[in-house]
Structure 1
Amino acid sequence: MNSTHFQYWPARLPKTLTVPKTTLYENLVITTKKYPQKQALHYYGKSYTYKQLLDEVERLAGYLEKVLQVKSNEKILLFMQNSPQFIISFFAILRVRAVVVPINPMSLTKDLEFYIKDCQIKHALVSQELYEKVAPLKGFTSLQNIIVTTYSDYASEEQAIGNLPPEVKAPRQTLSQDISWQEVQKTGFSPSPYTGLADDVAAIPYTSGTTGLPKGCVHTNKTIQANTVSAYQWMNVTADAVALTTLPLFHVTGLIHSLLAPIYAGSTIILFTRWDRDYAAKAIEQFQCSHWINISTMLIDFLANPNLKEYDLSSLQVIGGGGATVPQAVGENLYKRTGLQYVEGYGLTETMSHTHFNPPDRPKMQCLGIPSFNTDARIIDIGTGKELGPNQEGELVVNGPQVFKGYYQRDEENKEAHIEIDGKLFFRTGDIVKMDEEGYFFMVDRLKRMINASGFKVWPTEVESILYEHPAVQQACIVSAPDPRRGETVKAYIILKENAKGKVTEQEIIEWAKGKMASYKVPKIVEFRETFPTTSSGKILWRVLQKEAMEQKTASI
């Protein structure tokens, strides 16, 4: 285990972390005992105290147990966008020792059918605008009951500081064939005394399924708690912190950094259902937000706001995130605007968010950071499994308290996803990285994303990073395109900044790139786009663009 990075460890932080034996639900109970009347969250004009939050959790848990007869370890579908009801549902499921299966709101009915069958789900908690995706599966699958909620019941358009998203403004509809949230909250059932344990399975978030069928990642209270507490420590989240929660909570990064760590600390959460850069700037000023964990696409859009200079952002103390590296030019722009350096991290669904963090006082640009508390991170040769040293590119493998217990009912995939080194079991991330002499890790690329141009290896993230230096480029995505001579060639999809549209040509981008990178890395094809396909968490769906590039080129040959 490499320990070079410890010399750059944040001051005043221990190098190891003792994870509490308490559960995630008990975090909410303890915080409520400490701060019962403190504002737990603000949602589009309405605020809720910790006591109010816990009271609603208890009522929903009572209904799940006493009416729906939910048993411990039973899997419950949670299919909502960010909302107070998502938070209440999450903790209510844990309250009865059941398992949260949080699903991407962008999922279609056929996707939901897979998840329901995979986990034999009987009960679902669903938001009104997503109901029609779930309803056809009732009776057709194991699904028996759907509890339906409406965001507008927890918001106030009159008191909100900006425009509400359409799904938050929408009035409640009557769905007599299923269970209304209001009915549940009025019943007044109380759940049995809580007996949850740290080793209980708490959640099964699913991987995106980009390399095949989605796989459920089994996480216990203990694995989730490990990263909840490490985020709390590393980012200095206090009871007086105010978290701007713009990442989706179904996703592990948003769940840990924008919900569970703030609740562990007793912080206040400013909750967004939909990303809105103007609303975000207003919220930072109005509520004095101190912590904002996001992703690079969100930050790029925020900084591109021509009205940003009108807002006071001085309350911000920490800005960071992961998912994709922040281009250097964007990081420099952030520093000019706020005086803050972007604190980048790295993690996966399998590791319940982070395995790596940048030290807040010594971050490096476009860097995954250093291994988190009690995390053994190594780089191995893809072919031989031999451990590699500094500045050598190989696959990242990790061992730590946050690593999942395995893929749900996927024995073969579990064997393939792990490797034993020095008597310890490591998870194979599938990411190609390198480490510098100071123990900081850097992404090279996904194992399967490399472009082989005439035998030369081209890593898309490197080319993207350079393209962001061009003053006209707002966003860039590099993919492979078939080439009859080179086998593969480099294609760039680019979104131009508003002031550059119609003024900068594709060929000008190519010519500029020739002076910035080796010739084999230069995009041979550039295509301008107004938008990119993204996940609901804002990650660019490069595989969608990759498929388009292949189809376009094939059609033209």
Structure 2
Amino acid sequence: MNTRHFQFWPKRVPKSLTVPKTTIYHNLEVSAKRYLDKTAIYYYGTEISYQQFVDEVNRMAGFLENRLGVSKGERVLLFMQNSPQFMISFYAILRANAVAVPINPMNITEELQFYIQDCETKVAIVGQELYDRIAPLKHTTPLKDVIVAAYSDYVSGDPGYDLPEEVKMPRLTFDDPFVTPWMNALSCNLLPGPLTAQSDDIAVLPYTSGTTGKPKGCIHTHATVQSNIAGACVWSGITPNAVVLTVLPLFHVTGMQHSMNAPIFAGSSMLLLTRWNRATAAEVIQRHGCTHWTNISTMVVDFLSNPNLSNYNLETLSVVGGGGAPLPEAVGERLFQLTGIRYTEGYGLTETISQTHFNPADRPKLQCLGIPSFDVDSRIIDPETLRELGPGEEGEVIVHGPQVFKGYWNRPEETARAFLSLDGKRFFRTGDIAKYDEEGYYFMVDRVKRMINASGFKVWPTEVESILYKHPAIQQACVIGVPDEKRGETVKAFVVLHEKDRGKVTEQEIIEWSKNHMASYKYPRIVQFKERLPVSGSGKILWRKLQEEELAGSKQA
């Protein structure tokens, strides 16, 4: 096990962490007893106390058990956007001793059909604006019953800033005996039976994004999830007095853990937004004194692009960080100049229910994955020979730790391929290419399958993107490889310019600038301006979609 990073471990933080043997629901139960009248959720002008939170969780769990027949270990689909109902549903499913299956709200009917059939769910809890997508699947799949939620039920009065359209939408009615409105389910006032779930029982079945084939359900127990809940609180200093800006999608493991589960474990308050809006985010940070904000780099880029940002008081922010995609160095510097906060990046996967690596808050490195988290053994290996590599050598990241999933749902062969044994330990193969420096800090190179081979030289798109972000006119960038007769592949960059620079900067100027800022084999030979880049529900730029569109276009040509 590599321990060179221990010399940079945060002061007063233990190197090993004892993880609770209790269930995730128990975290809420404890916080509700400790902080009964405290606000758990701020939601567009509405305040929900911990007492109301746990009360509604128990009543929803009672409805799931007593009316819909949800039993221990049964999977329940959670298909909605960020909302109080998402949080209540998540904990209600666990209180009913069942398994939460959070699904990206951007999925369409055909995609939903796969998830429902794969995990054999009979019950779904759905945002009303998404109901039409799931309705055709009732009784044509294992799905039988649907609970439908209207986000507007939890909004009272005018918060003083813009509401997303989904939040404004009045409650709809449904003439279907298999559809239960959210408020009707609560009004039944049914209570659940005994909590029989144990630490090693399955709690959550999040699905991978499916970038290497069909999505796969990742089996996470209460214990694997608890390890990163506790780790997030200790590492980031999340206390009962913290106010967490909850803007990352909660269906995604980073938002789920850092913006929901960790604050609930600590008894913190959560400032919840259904949709990302940079002006609203600045307003609520100022109004409610937000202290912690976990995000994705695209959010930070957009936030800092707000021309009115200097009008807001952001002094209460103390911890800003995230993962999912490296934050460009130039963006991190702009954040520091504005707030005095160094961005603390982390690294993790759906298979590890968020973080396996964290940057130390007092000694972060920009565009760096950080150092291995509590009780994590992380190594770099040659992906073909499996030989362990040393400092500065690029290879595949493998991890062993308490947060690693148990396997893929009903996919024993893929589970077997995802793990290897080394020094008597079971390591998960991440598929990510990285390296670590002499101090034990890890740096992403790229996904194994994303590497561009240009005239025999390896070009990692993430590295090129990082340099492009230093151009003052570039707001967003995404790099892909495209076919080239002479080089085999060449580098193409899709670029979104800041509004003030549109029509003033040309594609050729970006290319010429790039020649002076990176090696000749790396710089983009092709630059294409776009109004916006495609992003996933969690905010990641969908490079694969751009790659597929480019390949389709070249074939037609």
TM-score over 0.5 (shorter chain): yes
Please say if 1:170 is aligned against 2:142. Answer: no
Deviation at 1:364, TM superposition (A): 0.2
Contact 1:148 1:181 in 2 (8 A): yes
Deviation at 1:195, TM superposition (A): 2.2
Determine the structure 1 residue equivalent to 2:158: 159
Determine the structure 2 residue equivalent to 1:481: 482
Please say if 1:438 is aligned against 2:439. Answer: yes
Deviation at 1:382, TM superposition (A): 1.3
In the TM superposition, what are the counterparts of 1:35-434 in structure 2 within 5 Å? 35-156=35-156, 158-177=157-176, 178-434=179-435
Please say if 1:524 is aligned against 2:525. Answer: yes
Q: Measure the CA separation in 2 of the matches of 1:195 and 1:42.
A: 31
Deviation at 1:200, TM superposition (A): 1.1
Query: Which SS does the other structure have where 1:548 is aligned?
Result: helix
Query: Which SS does the other structure have where 1:386 is aligned?
Result: coil
Deviation at 1:554, TM superposition (A): 3.4
Determine the structure 2 residue equivalent to 1:30: 30
Residue by residue, what CA displacement relative to the aligned partner does 1:306-333 show, whole Å, maximum 9, x if unpaired? 0000000000000000011111110000
In structure 2, what residue type is equivalent to 1:260? Answer: N
Deviation at 1:50, TM superposition (A): 0.2
Identity %: 60
In structure 2, what residue type is equivalent to 1:45? Answer: G
Query: Which SS does the other structure have where 1:81 is aligned?
Result: coil
Contact 1:70 1:98 in 2 (8 A): yes
Contact 1:479 1:549 in 2 (8 A): no
Contact 1:391 1:434 in 2 (8 A): yes
Residue by residue, what CA displacement relative to the aligned partner does 1:377-430 show, whole Å, maximum 9, x if unpaired? 000011110100000000000000000010000011011111110111100000
Q: Measure the CA separation in 1 of the matches of 2:194 and 2:202.
A: 18
In structure 2, what residue type is equivalent to 1:165? Answer: P
Query: Which SS does the other structure have where 1:448 is aligned?
Result: helix
Deviation at 1:484, TM superposition (A): 1.0
In structure 2, what residue type is equivalent to 1:395? Answer: E
Residue by residue, what CA displacement relative to the aligned partner does 1:487-531 show, whole Å, maximum 9, x if unpaired? 110000000011110011111111111111111101011000010
Contact 1:161 1:282 in 2 (8 A): no
Deviation at 1:222, TM superposition (A): 0.3
Query: Which SS does the other structure have where 1:207 is aligned?
Result: coil
Deviation at 1:35, TM superposition (A): 0.4
Contact 2:396 2:434 in 1 (8 A): yes
Q: Measure the CA separation in 1 of the matches of 2:26 and 2:351.
A: 23
Deviation at 1:550, TM superposition (A): 1.9
Q: Measure the CA separation in 2 of the matches of 1:291 and 1:527.
A: 36
Query: Which SS does the other structure have where 1:373 is aligned?
Result: coil
Contact 1:490 1:521 in 2 (8 A): yes
How large is the RMSD of aligned CA atoms in angstroms?
0.7
Query: Which SS does the other structure have where 2:286 is aligned?
Result: helix
Contact 1:46 1:159 in 2 (8 A): no
Q: Measure the CA separation in 1 of the matches of 2:333 and 2:554.
A: 36
In structure 2, what residue type is equivalent to 1:86? Answer: F
Q: Measure the CA separation in 2 of the matches of 1:505 and 1:350.
A: 42
Q: Measure the CA separation in 1 of the matches of 2:160 and 2:329.
A: 32
Contact 1:480 1:549 in 2 (8 A): no
Contact 1:75 1:121 in 2 (8 A): yes
Query: Which SS does the other structure have where 2:78 is aligned?
Result: strand
Residue by residue, what CA displacement relative to the aligned partner does 1:6-49 show, whole Å, maximum 9, x if unpaired? 00000100000000111100000000110000000010110000
Q: Measure the CA separation in 1 of the matches of 2:195 and 2:493.
A: 54
Moved over 6 A (4+): none
Deviation at 1:553, TM superposition (A): 3.1
Q: Measure the CA separation in 1 of the matches of 2:539 and 2:193.
A: 40
Contact 2:99 2:203 in 1 (8 A): yes
Q: Measure the CA separation in 2 of the matches of 1:131 and 1:551.
A: 32
Determine the structure 2 residue equivalent to 1:544: 545
Determine the structure 2 residue equivalent to 1:451: 452
In structure 2, what residue type is equivalent to 1:159? Answer: D
Deviation at 1:342, TM superposition (A): 0.2
Determine the structure 2 residue equivalent to 1:2: 2
Determine the structure 2 residue equivalent to 1:555: 556
Contact 2:346 2:359 in 1 (8 A): yes
Deviation at 1:485, TM superposition (A): 1.1
Q: Measure the CA separation in 1 of the matches of 2:142 and 2:323.
A: 36
Extract unaligned runs of 5+ from structure 1: none
Q: Measure the CA separation in 1 of the matches of 2:331 and 2:255.
A: 21
Q: Measure the CA separation in 1 of the matches of 2:218 and 2:385.
A: 27
Q: Measure the CA separation in 1 of the matches of 2:380 and 2:40.
A: 41
TM-score, length-normalised on structure 1?
0.99
Query: Which SS does the other structure have where 1:520 is aligned?
Result: coil
Contact 1:161 1:283 in 2 (8 A): no
Contact 1:368 1:440 in 2 (8 A): yes
Q: Measure the CA separation in 1 of the matches of 2:121 and 2:544.
A: 30
Q: Measure the CA separation in 2 of the matches of 1:189 and 1:517.
A: 64
Deviation at 1:338, TM superposition (A): 0.2
Q: Measure the CA separation in 1 of the matches of 2:473 and 2:394.
A: 32
Q: Measure the CA separation in 2 of the matches of 1:351 and 1:50.
A: 28
Contact 1:482 1:554 in 2 (8 A): no
Query: Which SS does the other structure have where 2:195 is aligned?
Result: coil
Deviation at 1:224, TM superposition (A): 0.2
Q: Measure the CA separation in 2 of the matches of 1:551 and 1:202.
A: 40
Deviation at 1:96, TM superposition (A): 1.1
In structure 1, what residue type is equivalent to 2:166? Answer: E
Extract unaligned runs of 5+ from structure 2: none
Query: Which SS does the other structure have where 1:521 is aligned?
Result: coil
Deviation at 1:268, TM superposition (A): 0.2
Query: Which SS does the other structure have where 1:354 is aligned?
Result: strand
